[in-house]
Amino acid sequence: MAGESKAKVIPLHGSSSRSSAARRAAARAESSRRHPSLLTDPGTRASAEQMAAVVREIDAHRTTAAGTSTAADDPNELAQKIAAVAEFTRKRMTGDYEVDEFGFDPHLNNAIFLPLLRGLFKSWFRVEVSGIENLPETGAALVVANHAGVLPLDGLMASVAVHDYHPAHRDLRLLAADMVFDMPFVGQAARKAGHTMACTADAHRLLAAGELTAVFPEGYKGLGKPFRDRYKLQRFGRGGFVSAALRAKAPIVPCSIVGSEEIYPMLADVKLIARLFGLPYFPVTPLFPLAGPLGLVPLPSKWHIQFGEPIPTDAYDEATAEDPMVTFELTDQVRETIQQTLYQLLANRGNTFLG
């Protein structure tokens, strides 16, 4: 524009005095353009306060410009969600996703099942996770955990913990009871979420494939125990999970879960009704069955999931996998580790529901 001073480019090979003079001239021109009153009298120098005001104005101008640029560059969140839904639909319709031999569908699990479970994990149970570094970055490992709470929500919360907190975002493949896979819709969903039946053969196949596998040796005895026996581990069965780990030479990682015992405090077990419906137990809780469907809502207890130090199995030869004394010893070691960790977590626990 006419009347505005323009800074000239000074060659780098010129003398230092000429370069310094040029820089001072350019600075005065910029100050004159922004604040003409500072140089109305050529013989008058600007005060420190006036120069500071110029600097503040320039900084403010730059900050505003940067903020405007950042806001303009941010993608529209709604458009992102729409694009994600469209991409998910396209892949489902075209079959552009993979399913393994067990029926695990990672695409569906990451898009549907895990987001649904995260609501319970973060907002309802407010789960804390520790010891995640004890799970291997790659390769097989057998996670052995306590089991409680009438419904097996502890396994599902453990799967979210591993996927979201592990650096490699690994999938935890749960070994579940046969009854889960006999239930319509539930069995299919469990397969697609990556879980399979709790048998030694399937455990060995998962570990041989390098999967992170979880087992709950207490089974129904843990899920259906009365509230008065909370956090007292039940018998761990015959140690089939140890045999599978020994064959695959996979480390065993004890996992202790605090919080699941309080979601459905089981006051009684009506065995007659359980036998009538073919169930392992029929729980009576403070809200079920008196409150009807509302009794199925779990209480919002505060959870903590801790993964302990792995117990290596690579030092054992293959013949020891069939040795009952070895499997019993390892089974007892894992059980004792989980029990002692539960006691420690409970000793450091705050309020059951407000912690």
Taking residue 67's Cβ as centre, other Cβ atoms within 10 Å add up to 10
Closest CA to 136 of 278, 13, 313: 313
The CATH number covering residue 244 comes to 3.40.1130.10
> Is residue 256, in this structure, part of any structural domain at all?
yes
77 lies in some domain: no
State the amino acid at position 68 in one-letter form.
T
Whether 196 is covered by a domain: the verdict is yes
| Tokens matching residue 111 | 């898009």
Q: Name the percent of the chain lying above pLDDT 70.
A: 79
Q: Does 310 map to a domain? A: yes
Element (H, E) at 339: helix 324-347
111 in a domain, yes or no?
A: no
pTM score above 0.95? no
Give, to the nearest 10 degrees, the angle between helix 16-34 and helix 48-73.
80
| Confidence label for 12 from pLDDT (cuts 50, 70 and 90) | very low
Residue 355 — pLDDT band, cuts 50, 70, 90? low
Q: Is residue 71 part of a domain?
A: no
Say what the pLDDT of residue 18 is: 46
Question: What would the pLDDT profile of 293-351 be if each residue is shown by its tens digit?
Answer: 999 999 999 999 999 999 999 988 877 878 888 999 999 999 999 999 999 999 999 89
The number of residues making up the chain comes to 355
Half-sphere exposure of 61 (CA within 13 A, CB side): 7
Contact status, residue 266 vs residue 150, Cβ threshold 8 Å: yes
Q: Is residue 20 part of a domain?
A: no
Q: What kind and span of H or E run contains 59?
A: helix 48-73
Terminal-to-terminal C-alpha distance of the chain: 66
> Domain for residue 23, yes or no?
no
- Measured between alpha carbons, how far is 81 from 85 in angstroms, rounded to an integer? 6
Coil, strand, or helix at residue 22? helix
CB 214 within 8 A of CB 157: no
> Which range of residues forms the domain containing residue 325?
127-219+226-263+298-348
- Could you tell me which residue, 61 or 226, shows the higher pLDDT? 226
> How many domains does the chain contain in total?
1
**Relative orientation angle of helices 200-208 and 240-248, to the nearest 10 degrees:** 20
Residue 224: partners with Cβ closer than 8 Å, 6 or more residues away: 150, 266, 269, 280, 281, 283
Rounded CA-CA distance 24/17 in Å is 11
> pLDDT by residue (tens digit) across 13-44?
444 444 455 555 555 555 455 544 444 444 44
Q: Which two tokens stand for residue 175?
A: 């070994």
Looking at per-residue confidence, does 233 or 89 come out higher? 233
